[in-house]
Amino acid sequence: MAQYSRKLKRGIRYWYKFDYNNKTYFSKAIYLSKSEAKRAENIRYEEVSRQARNPSEKPNLSLLEAINERLDLLKAKKSEKYYKENKTYYSDFLKTIGNVPMNSITRKVINDFLFKVASNAKVKGNDNYGVNYMLNLLKALFNYAIESHELEIRNPCQGIKPFPVTKKLKYIPSDNDIEAVKSICTPEQKLLIDFISETAARINEPLKVTGKDIFDDYIILYTKKSRNSNIVPRKVLKPDCIRGIELKEDEKLFKLWSDTPKFLKRKIKFLKQKEWNWHNLRHRKASMWSKQGLPLYEIMSRLGHSNLKTTQRYLQLIP
């Protein structure tokens, strides 16, 4: 049995490799030290050896194997951002408890880990949103492993209650804030701000709009919430800001950006305003519709939500 080092962009990482019964076993280069790789190798060697001695015994699924399988699935089906978030959280969990068999992880192990994360968050002055997010990701990991490998275990995350958090209202920028930003924008940038302000669209939606999506009284927005999810069209009222604009069928309304524009954040920082972003404009318009007396289900439809509770979280009193 042996351990090896590999130089990666994030630094030196270690991996192991060994042969057993004319078969080679090796790991990915994920370990921070040679000793960590050796411990993981010993665990894996013991699993392989026990399985060889007891061929009728079902092999134990290790935490690392479950994480890698889950991440492969997320990489194929979800957004790059969601995949990276999962990878970061799972790596922290793996480093803390080690590459142990999945069936050895108890509720106490999960609880102890979450309490440690919560304590670190408290020291840094952060709330428990990250802790609860981690709990949800671990719950999903175990559900995946239990279902895909038919593990005869109970999800150890079941019964663990979320940690308390301080609920905060989404900041609603004032008319003065928005106008101040627009005063230092280019015409194209102003148009994008007005478009989001009038339609409450997600920022990725107007960037897909072409001439064929614009009609006399309405436009069609397309939503894709993850890489492999369905693209869902919805009609919204045509905003005043684009009336009079004529485009060819395949011509984009916003040609400058293919991903979330960064100019808004820079200009807000330059003006020393309280921080807000594209999504705050979406909350702002939803709250304005509510103030105007629009039925909740109509607001839900305009926002492109599939859950009424999500829409209710958007709404707040505004002057």
Tokens, residue 176: 């003065």
Q: How far apart are CA 210 and CA 250, in angstroms?
A: 6
What angle in degrees, to the nearest 10, is found between the helix axes of 296-303 and 278-291? Answer: 160
Can you tell me the mean pLDDT for 18-45? 88
**One domain, residues 133 and 67:** yes
**One domain, residues 73 and 48:** no
For residue 223, the cross-strand partners are: 232
Q: Tell me the per-residue pLDDT of 98-112, one tens digit each, with 9 for 90 and over.
A: 999 999 999 999 999
Give how many domains the chain has, as a whole number: 3
Query: Distance of CA 155 to CAs 89, 140, 145, Å?
Result: 18, 9, 9
**One domain, residues 158 and 230:** no
Residue 319: inside a domain, yes or no? no
Report the candidate in 56, 57, 60, 29 with the shortest Cα–Cα distance to residue 44.
Answer: 60
Q: Tell me the per-residue pLDDT of 54-73, one tens digit each, with 9 for 90 and over.
A: 766 666 789 999 999 999 98
**One domain, residues 54 and 96:** no
Buried b (16+ CB within 10 A) or exposed e, 293-310: eeeeeebbbbbbbeeeee
Q: Tell me the per-residue pLDDT of 133-167, one tens digit each, with 9 for 90 and over.
A: 999 999 999 999 999 888 888 999 999 999 998 87
pLDDT at position 299 over 80: yes
Residue 24: inside a domain, yes or no? yes
**One domain, residues 188 and 83:** no
Report the candidate in 205, 221, 208, 202 with the shortest Cα–Cα distance to residue 279.
Answer: 202
**One domain, residues 161 and 181:** no
pLDDT at position 226 over 80: no
Point out the domain boundary residue: 166, 189, 208: 166
pLDDT at position 225 over 80: no
Read off the pTM: 0.61
**One domain, residues 55 and 70:** no
**One domain, residues 301 and 183:** yes
Point out the domain boundary residue: 59, 80, 96: 59
- pLDDT at residue 207, rounded to an integer: 94
pLDDT at position 213 over 60: yes
Q: What is the mean pLDDT of the chain?
A: 90
Least confident segment among 153-167, 225-239, 253-267 = 225-239
Can you tell me the mean pLDDT for 232-241? 93
Residue 255: inside a domain, yes or no? yes
Q: Which domain holds residue 45?
A: 1-59
Q: How far apart are CA 202 and CA 304, in angstroms?
A: 9
